[in-house]
């Protein structure tokens, strides 16, 4: 019998890609999503359109903060359900704590109660904040989140450590660095930028363009998630955090230029103040990811942006 994996957040950007990859390698998937109205349900339905009707995939519409989880026959959990977005979390920290902390505690407890010991938890590079030396290493002495979203992700990691310690679970917390690519959430910067460029609208650039991010193409992130899932099957009890990044820091002004060139258009920049909760730089130390998971990012920023722009134009059409 094929392994059965529960994927929370299955209709989201990363979750839908992970579900497809698991099925492609022969696993069965139970996908769970509550279709949070943070962005239109229609977009999430499109994300899982290719999965619906597959015998290996079952979708359960449920909320991790209040509903029973479909863990019957499940051998491992990939927990990606979360309220995402640094800036939105500043406006509503209570909701982010409820989903990302309490929701994660419920997923971990439900897994413990049903004897599921292998869990991958989707965390974020946001947990490092601004104080951590670069590149960010998982064992850095200072991990100081600067937004409610980042704090909720760090709290989820701490819960994972507690459950692993108390109950002999094997948990991997993957700190994802700005994942992008087809199906990316419409609120994320790369999606907003290309939408503005395509419609000949001003591109809102926060700060002077010198801030830097490490961007991870979706296929690399999925490879890391699947490698992490396999890792939980090889290791004994415990909880470990591992970075998943793209291997390159990219300035904001360069990113906008790459999007403009890939779409054969000009970008009209609108300068905006730096928002609260954002960090100026992210950079991943990928040494542990390579040692533990065999992870090496394969898609560079120029190639990845090209793939993303082609997907955007195929999905939304070339604007006049």
**Residue that has been written with the tokens 């982010």 in this structure:** 96
Cβ contacts of 14 within 8 Å, gap of 6 or more: 80, 122, 176, 179, 218, 221, 222, 225
Catalytic residue from among 128, 149, 215, 217: 149
Residue 308 inside a domain? The answer is: no
Q: With a cut of 90, say whether residue 151 has pLDDT above it.
A: yes
Phi and psi at 96, nearest 5°, equal -65, -35
Note down the domain range covering 63: 4-177+217-244
CB-CB neighbours of 307 under 10 Å: 17
- If one counts the domains in the chain, the total is 1
Question: Please, what is the Cα angle at 221 between 177 and 127, to 5 degrees?
Answer: 25
Residue 320 inside a domain? The answer is: no
Crossing angle for the helix pair 301-316 and 189-198, nearest 10 degrees?
A: 60
C-alpha span between 81 and 206 (Å, rounded)? 28
CA neighbor of 156 nearest in space, from 78, 117, 99: 99
Residue 200 inside a domain? The answer is: no
The DSSP 8-state label assigned to residue 199 in this structure reads T
- Is 312 a known active-site residue? no
In DSSP terms, 179 is beta-bridged to: 216
Give yes or no for a cis peptide into 135 (omega within 30° of 0).
Answer: yes
Q: What is the mean pLDDT of the chain?
A: 94
CB 251 within 8 A of CB 283: no
Q: With a cut of 80, say whether residue 304 has pLDDT above it.
A: yes
Residue 23 inside a domain? The answer is: yes
133: domain CATH number is 3.40.50.720
Single pTM value for the model: 0.95
The helices-and-strands tally (H runs, E runs) of the chain is 11, 13
pLDDT tens profile 80-105: 999 998 889 999 999 999 999 999 99
pLDDT at res. 318? 62
Residue 314 inside a domain? The answer is: no
pLDDT tens profile 125-144: 999 988 667 899 999 876 78
Residue 115 inside a domain? The answer is: yes
pLDDT at res. 131? 65
pLDDT tens profile 12-36: 999 999 999 999 999 999 999 999 9
With H, G, I as helix, E, B as strand and everything else as coil, classify residue 212: strand
| Confidence band, pLDDT 50/70/90 cuts, at residue 303 | very high
Q: With a cut of 70, say whether residue 259 has pLDDT above it.
A: yes
| Confidence band, pLDDT 50/70/90 cuts, at residue 320 | very low
Residue 75 inside a domain? The answer is: yes
Q: With a cut of 90, say whether residue 1 has pLDDT above it.
A: no
């Amino acid at each position: 019998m094929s392994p059965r994996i529960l994927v929370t957040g299955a209709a989201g950007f990363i979750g839908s890609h992970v579900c497809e990859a698991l099925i492609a390698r022969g696993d069965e998937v139970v996908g769970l999503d509550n279709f949070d109205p943070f962005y239109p349900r229609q977009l999430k339905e499109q994300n899982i359109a290719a999965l619906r009707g597959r015998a290996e995939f079952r979708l359960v519409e449920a909320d991790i903060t209040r509903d029973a989880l479909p863990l019957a026959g499940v051998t491992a959990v990939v927990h990606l359900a979360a309220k995402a977005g640094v800036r939105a979390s500043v406006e509503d920290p209570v909701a982010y704590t409820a989903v990302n902390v309490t929701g994660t505690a419920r997923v971990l407890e439900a897994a413990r109660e049903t004897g599921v010991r292998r869990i991958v938890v989707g965390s974020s590079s946001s947990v490092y904040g601004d104080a951590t030396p670069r590149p960010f290493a998982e064992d850095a002495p200072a991990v100081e989140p600067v937004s409610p979203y980042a704090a909720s992700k760090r709290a989820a990691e701490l819960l994972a450590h507690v459950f692993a310690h108390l109950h002999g679970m094997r948990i991997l917390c993957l700190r994802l660095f700005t994942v992008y690519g087809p199906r990316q959430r419409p609120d994320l910067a790369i999606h907003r930028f290309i939408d503005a460029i395509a419609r000949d609208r001003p591109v809102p650039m926060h700060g002077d363009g010198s801030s830097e991010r490490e961007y991870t193409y979706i296929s690399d992130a999925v490879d890391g998630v699947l490698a992490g899932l396999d890792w939980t099957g090889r290791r004994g009890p415990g909880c470990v955090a591992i970075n998943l990044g793209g291997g390159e820091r990219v300035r904001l002004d360069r990113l906008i230029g790459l999007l403009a060139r890939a779409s054969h258009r000009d970008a009209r920049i609108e300068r905006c103040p730096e928002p609260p909760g954002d960090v100026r730089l992210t950079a991943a130390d990928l040494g542990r990811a390579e040692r533990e998971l065999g992870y090496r990012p394969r898609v560079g920023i120029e190639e990845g942006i090209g793939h993303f722009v082609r997907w955007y134009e195929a999905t939304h059409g070339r604007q006049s």
